[in-house]
Amino acid sequence: MPIPVTQLIKDQQLEDLNPDVSSESCITTSELVRPGIQLAGYFDYFAYERILILGKVEHYYLQTLPEDLRNSRFDKIMSYPIPCMLVSRSMGLPVELLKIASEHKRKIVGSHLNTTKLISRLMNYLEFHLAETVQIHGVLMDVYGVGVAITGKSGIGKSETAIELVKKGHLLVADDTIEVKKIGHDYLVGAAPDLTKNMIEVRGIGILDVKSLYGVGAIKNQTGIDLVVHLEEWDHQKSYDRLGLDESCRKILDVDVEEVVIPVKPARNLSLMVEVAARNHRQKMMGYHAAQAFSERLTEYMKKDK
């Protein structure tokens, strides 16, 4: 979703250098551009849809230009529908340049950060807020530092399992609806929608505020999604994996996430199963795969038996 420039100014605590301009521009890309080559007069392939960063080099280059040439180059840049120009190091701009920007209704903002830190901070902010997003039905927990998305049809026991996990000291991120963002090429981050943040629904009891019931230490605003635990009703006609060698994945936003299917039947401790699945996933990430180790041990035993 595009980010209004006014929201950027608020979120990043930027200084509005021409408050007389009421900008309705929005930012649609996380890429940035430093307009040094445009200040030198070359406008072919000008990526004007990006935020313009005016750093120390561009600032001092402007001062070397004759006033009429400087104004004409700046006027040409401002004639493009740029979302805004951001000036680093609190250097500001000459009054005549601010006047040109205001005439074109282009927002100029400033930051006290140096150019490198400013670009890094902005790219992280824009990558997150402009990331590809999807909503999935389920519960998202942080279990032993592993982001676990618990999925399954309504009434299977997802929320009850989440409450049990919270009681054991694990962290609730989202219940019922998980907002998933794809950061970069293959990193998924999940969070709760604002409407249901910190809330959980338990059939027969109703809506519970986990933060109020269990304290601030029982919740987490967001977490990476490392594992999907899918709960399904036990099907006696189905053959379930008993060794753990048949690994499967759930594709979310074109990213493959390891998926574990847990059959549900009376007397099964689902919260314990989720804890074990999270520990096992963490062990795999640290380089040890128990199922493969057992398979290798079995192979060696069979060789000796021969």
Fold for 3-129, please state it.
3.40.1390
176 is catalytic: yes
Closest listed residue to residue 232, CA positions, set 276, 259, 265, 197: 265
For the chain, domain boundaries: 3-129, 132-291
Annotated binding site for Mg(2+): 159, 201
112 is catalytic: no
Q: Read off the pLDDT band of 239 (50, 70, 90).
A: confident
Which distant-in-sequence residues (6+ apart) come within 8 Å of 121 by Cβ?
12, 113
Fold for 132-291, please state it.
Rossmann fold (3.40.50)
Annotated binding site: 152-159, 201
Answer whether 152's CB lies under 8 Å from 198's CB: no
Q: Helix, strand, or coil here: 244?
A: coil
pLDDT for 306: 59
Catalytic residue among 238, 242, 251, 306: 242
pTM for the structure as a whole: 0.80
Residue-wise pLDDT for 64-116, tens only, equals: 999 999 999 999 999 999 999 999 999 989 999 999 999 999 999 999 999 99
Euclidean distance between CA atoms 273 and 152, whole angstroms: 15
pLDDT for 305: 63
Euclidean distance between CA atoms 130 and 27, whole angstroms: 9
Q: Read off the pLDDT band of 275 (50, 70, 90).
A: very high
pLDDT for 203: 84
pLDDT for 155: 86
Annotated binding site for ATP: 152-159
